[in-house]
Amino acid sequence: MNKIKRRQALKNIALGVGAMSIGPSVFGQDPNDNLENLEYNLPKKLKGNLNHSACRWCYQKIPLMEFAKKGKEIGLKGIDLLKPDEWKIVQDHGLECSLATDSFASLTDGFNSPKNHENLQNHYIDLISKASNSGIKQVIVFSGNRNGISEEEGLENCAKGLDDLVKHAAKKNVTLVMELLNSKVDHKDYQCDRTPWGVALVDKIGSSNFKLLYDIYHMQIMEGDIIATIRKYHTYINHYHTGGVPGRNEINDHQELNYPAIMQAIVDIGFKGYIAQEFIPTYDDKLSALQEGISICDV
């Protein structure tokens, strides 16, 4: 009886202060079953040591205007992977497009093949200019699939294909970031699938306007050793993505990565860019899942 009374008292207090602010519990169950874990639902001022973002495609079913409004309420400063016709919508809600893209960008047909260069260069010149004019600082690029191209040839081709674009980006105060993706589970044959290869490309291009997007989920699958890698190569990295391993779902304790420790390492090296949540939510309330991810990363 004492336990029942305690639970009811906690429930009444929670309801009285409006603690269940976003919807169903972030734990994906009836909130009354998780009264000891209400901290993810309580209104909370973030520490401010990291800039939080989220990838649009993971929340595609939520209208962008609603996602921007509610995302800002739970701590987002930006939204990743937006196309030009979406930029103003989030900016009008006080958020940044933290990473720009457009429909022509291809994970499979990238800069490692000379046959793609002319088409990509024409499109990216325009995208970089548009991004600059809208105050957007980052644009994503991809290596493409190997398709039999050697590591050395892929590096050389990417450097040649990106050279003029990086120079244009420098004039426009924009940074191009190439994403590291796993080729083991999600993106078979993708060439930029290991940190040292991406680092070698950054060195070959030799510009502060070309960096890496370090996707923690993808690199855990390919390499592991996440914190040591971040510490070693942090000057090459301009952006981070998250995701639980295995499965690419929530980044809570149902997966193998210790995200608070990883985020602390990122804070310790003085990172000032964006941490973008890129997990696929499994909770019915997708925004509660996002709020949980932000809270986990708020170190």
Say what the pTM is. 0.85
User: What pLDDT score does 45 carry?
Assistant: 87
Residue 203: Cβ-neighbour burial (10 angstroms; 0-12, 13-18, 19+)? exposed
Listed residue (92, 95, 97) closest to 81, CA to CA: 97
**Residue numbers of the chain with a pLDDT score lower than 70:** 1-43
Q: How far apart are CA 229 and CA 265, in angstroms?
A: 10
Domain range summary for the chain, segments of one domain joined by +? 1-41, 42-297
User: What pLDDT score does 24 carry?
Assistant: 32
User: What pLDDT score does 29 carry?
Assistant: 35
CATH superfamily of 42-297: Divalent-metal-dependent TIM barrel enzymes (3.20.20.150)
